[in-house]
Amino acid sequence: MDLFSLLESVSFWHWIALGLALLAVELLGTAGYFLWLGISALIVGAILSFLPMSWQMQWLAFVAFSLVTTWLWWRKQWSKDRKSDQARDLNQKHKQLIGNIVTLEEDFHIGMNRLRVADTTW
């Protein structure tokens, strides 16, 4: 059996099995990447069960769905992270200090002054 006859004999069950295997690999902790590949394989399997396609079209559909689902996830995650970063004050002193009233530790001296910010003197 050569490679082309093997590729031509792929049915929708093979795609569903591949999708489930990729989802199982995702459980090992691959940060979401195999999740979208697995979902793409399941989509191709579902489409193939209703619409017969050549093996070239099957792989093209798998690649297209993989790219689209991965890109959509990246875009959603990127915008979520960006909103989260803008709202966070942790490790962003310029946001934490705006509007605070601080205590002057010593009288003003030319070039050297100390003031207390939270629990630290500067």
Q: What average pLDDT score do residues 31-56 get?
A: 93
Q: How large a percentage of the chain has pLDDT more than 70?
A: 89
Supply 109's token pair.
């001296």
Supply 45's token pair.
């399997």
> pTM of whole model > 0.75?
no
Structural domain containing residue 73: 3-88
Q: Which helix (H) or strand (E) holds 117?
A: strand 115-117
Examine the domain organization and report whether 83 and 117 are in the same domain.
Answer: no
The secondary structure of residue 105, as a DSSP letter, is -
Which tens digit of pLDDT belongs to each residue from 58-117? 999 999 999 999 999 988 888 877 777 666 666 666 666 777 777 777 777 777 777 777
- Whole-number Å distance between alpha carbons of 40 and 19: 7
Examine the domain organization and report whether 50 and 94 are in the same domain.
Answer: no
Number of domains in the chain: 2
Examine the domain organization and report whether 116 and 105 are in the same domain.
Answer: yes
